[in-house]
Amino acid sequence: MPIRQQSRYDAVIVGARAAGASTALLLAQAGLRVLAIDKSAYGSDTTSTHALMRPAVLQLHRWGVLDRIVEAGTPAIRKTTFHYGLDREGDRIEVDIRPKDGVDALYAPRRTVLDTVLVDAAVEAGAEVIHDATVQEVLRDSDGRVTGVRFRDALGFGYRVDADLVIGADGVRSLVARSVGAEVTRTTNRPAACIYGYWRGLELDGTHWYYAPDAAAGVIPTNDGHACVFVAMRPERFLRHRSIGLDALYHEVLRDSGVDLARDANAGWVSNVDADLAGGANAGWVSNVDADLSGGAGAGWVSNVDADLSRDANAGWVRNVDADLSGGAGAGWIRNVDADLAGGAGGGSVRRVDADARVPSGRSLSPVAATLVGKLHPFAGAPGFLRRSWGEGWALVGDAGFFRDPLTAHGLTDALRHAELLARAILTGGDAAMATYQTSRDAEAIELMDLSDEIASFDWDLEHVKAMHHQLSKLMGREYGATRELDSVASPAALQAVI
């Protein structure tokens, strides 16, 4: 959208994803003149675990946008399960999500849903939001105070925009943070590398988190009947994708985490043989098996059995297909198809593969036809950091100011909470309020950051990681209590009252 001919804005926000759009929404609800600028297209996707913890869902509820998330078909999550090791009896913990404060479930909306809902709500509240635009420069006056930005829109036209406050919500590589020289006050350096994929056809009873030595995974239901299925590992192991391929590494870490979707979803079944094996033209040839038994790109497909099964000895029997359909050590190998393809009962179709395709005890993934959708999205890992969050004419929010390892899936919850803390400080006004924003953010962030770093390091045994998850739960409970206390800031009336 073209910008209006305003002489200046109260706030210009660089970035209109979760943190930036939330900040724009709250400031616009209070009557401030707000412009948000984002380099991505409106409604575009981005890599994410999607999970919203209870504090974030409570905020969306209070802001009046949770119903939109639900109406978009985002599945309600009413249980989360932690699996440890190979999911032996007693090695998993189930947690029911109980109703509280008007919220009866958690959600993990696709970013095409969450970010769009927040942007639309901000615009309805009076903010201007421009997509497909690139901020090129942060402007300062002669005293060094930030006074605005220069940006270029999708058509190549350049603009100068003046503002009382420039807010960097532009991610880990924040231009605003670099331009103002925002000091890094704390770092962590034991990141996990991740690979993200989306699966269709998994019937889930909630979110599932898997932890095993040197491997972890998450299965998170999201929109359109899909689940975000990610794996995590040490960065050194991630480098194996150069030799074995990203797809093979993804399935390898899934298996080592204690979850194998190839075996959990109709594992070992071949639903159809695309050939007339009983007596038609080219009888006896297996030209294609209409199933991908591993979910990988090409992996697991049986494309051809180079034998005329109608004329060889024991015609009609497929003795062995020399392929490992699950990626595991021996698991998933098709050793024999016990069917007379030339004329026995059920001839012409392979109904069961005689293979190691068992579903381990304790699984909660329903055996339906799961399929990996689209390409995998790798993340090589990045150190965590905490930056100074404000200065003369500028502030940072979201990943621009605080980034911790994504393995604990807490980034979106951090983004929404910090957006509300920043909005409160801006509307209160003055350096003392902005200093309170930083101290409040940091008081929560440091413990969560350090704990996330320790979990991401994989320098633990299973009992240790269980204990860390227990500590993480306590910290999240404390965070939820603090979020409830911000209730007065969430309503437009309350926001108007402080300006």
Q: What is the DSSP string of 186-198?
A: EEE--PPEEEEEE
For residues 138-150, give the mean pLDDT. Answer: 97
In a domain? residue 233: no
Q: Is the pLDDT of residue 431 over 50?
A: yes
Look at the pTM and tell me if it is higher than 0.85: no
In a domain? residue 352: no
In a domain? residue 185: yes
Distance from the Cα of residue 30 to its chain's centroid: 31
Provide the residue count of the chain.
499
Cα separation, 150 vs 148, whole angstroms: 7
Residue 158 has φ and ψ, to the nearest 5°, of -100, 150
In a domain? residue 305: no
- What is the predicted pLDDT for the residue at 388? 98
pLDDT in tens, 102-142: 899 999 999 999 999 999 999 999 999 999 999 999 999 99
Q: Coil, helix or strand for 283?
A: coil
Residues of the domain holding 455: 9-74+110-190+382-497
In a domain? residue 242: no
Q: Is the pLDDT of residue 358 over 50?
A: no
- What is the predicted pLDDT for the residue at 393? 98
What CATH code is carried by the domain that includes residue 417? 3.50.50.60
In a domain? residue 46: yes
240: β partners: none
Cβ neighbours of residue 203 under 8 Å, at least 6 residues apart?
A: 365, 366, 368
Residue 202 · residue 220 · CB < 8 Å: no
Give percent of the chain above pLDDT 70.
73
Query: Is 362 exposed, middle or buried, given 0-12, 13-18 or 19+ CB atoms closer than 10 A?
Result: middle
Q: Coil, helix or strand for 333?
A: strand
In a domain? residue 297: no
Give percent of the chain above pLDDT 90.
71
In a domain? residue 271: no
Least confident of 83-97, 286-300, 445-459: 286-300
Residue 154 has φ and ψ, to the nearest 5°, of -65, -25
Cα separation, 192 vs 58, whole angstroms: 29
Q: Is the pLDDT of residue 319 over 60?
A: no
Q: Coil, helix or strand for 497?
A: helix
Q: Is the pLDDT of residue 189 over 70?
A: yes
- What is the predicted pLDDT for the residue at 89? 54
How many distinct structural domains can be found in the chain?
Answer: 1
Q: Is the pLDDT of residue 413 over 50?
A: yes
Least confident of 196-200, 359-363, 446-450: 359-363
